[in-house]
Amino acid sequence: MKTSTHIMGRRIAGALLIVGLLSGCAGLRPYPNTMGKNLHIQTETDSGSIFSKVRAAVDIFSVNADCTPEYQGTVKLKAPSIDVGISPNELSYMVFVFSNSSFLANSRSSISHETLLKTRAGYNYDIKVSYIDDIYDVSIEENHQGSSKSREIELRNLSTCQSL
């Protein structure tokens, strides 16, 4: 009995570990998204296989004066687009996460692409997010409201925070 309990315990522990690892969402919470919408995020995903699926999401962090990111929440990126609001004139850190799950191999993996972004009041930002056949890309374009002027924003990692 002790042995079967031990085995059962191991099975439950194993199952919980699997759920925890494979869910990949421990500690994640939805981003409140209550501010004025200044980000227009277009998303396109295609795993290239009927046996796997790709999901895209963005984790949004505020960034303190000492360049420490503070997690604000996660937005699931659904095609074709979603509007998100972040604080203008403040530094944000955005981590785009692509999660790939394969049904046949019973495996799940994720890869991320991150950038610092300081939005400006009076500007909108078009963000294109794609994951097609195992190649992903994130590009950001800044557009002045009421004019056709736009410029591409270079992606910056967190280590460049001090220089911004």
Partner 1 sequence: MKKLIAISILIPGLVSMLTGCGSMPLTADEFRKAAPKAMTGEVATFEVDRPFQAVAETFNKKAPACLNKTVTTTSSTPGKYGPVVSTYTVTYKPTVLLGREKVELHVQHHTDNALKVYEEPAGGYFLLVADAYPIEENKTRIDMYRPAIGHKTLIKAVEGWSTGKNVGCPDLTQ
* Residue with Cβ nearer partner 1 (13 or 121): 13
Q: Which 3 state secondary structure label does DSSP give 5?
A: helix
> Binding pattern to partner 1, positions 97-126, x when CB under 8 A?
-x-x-x--xxxxxxx-x-------------
The answer to whether 90 and 64 are in contact (CB under 8 A) is no
* Residue with Cβ nearer partner 1 (57 or 124): 57
Size of the site for partner 1 (CB under 8 A): 30
- In whole angstroms, the minimum distance from the beta carbon of 80 to partner 1 comes to 18
The answer to whether 56 and 44 are in contact (CB under 8 A) is no
For residues 32 and 85, give the distance between their C-alpha atoms in angstroms, rounded to a whole number.
9
Measure the CA dihedral 87/120/113/155, to 10°: -160
- In whole angstroms, the minimum distance from the beta carbon of 133 to partner 1 comes to 8
The answer to whether 75 and 30 are in contact (CB under 8 A) is yes
- In whole angstroms, the minimum distance from the beta carbon of 13 to partner 1 comes to 8
Q: With binding defined as CB under 8 A, does residue 160 bind partner 1?
A: no
Region at 89 (left for phi over 0; alpha for psi -120 to 50; beta for the rest): left
Residue from 136, 140, 153, 161 touching partner 1 (CB under 8 A): that is: 136
For residues 123 and 127, give the distance between their C-alpha atoms in angstroms, rounded to a whole number.
13
Neighbours of 93 (CB within 10 A): 23
Q: With binding defined as CB under 8 A, does residue 50 bind partner 1?
A: no
Q: With binding defined as CB under 8 A, does residue 31 bind partner 1?
A: no
* Residue with Cβ nearer partner 1 (85 or 95): 95
Name the residues that contact partner 1, by CB under 8 A: 7, 10-11, 14-15, 17-18, 21-22, 98, 100, 102, 105-111, 113, 130-137, 155, 157
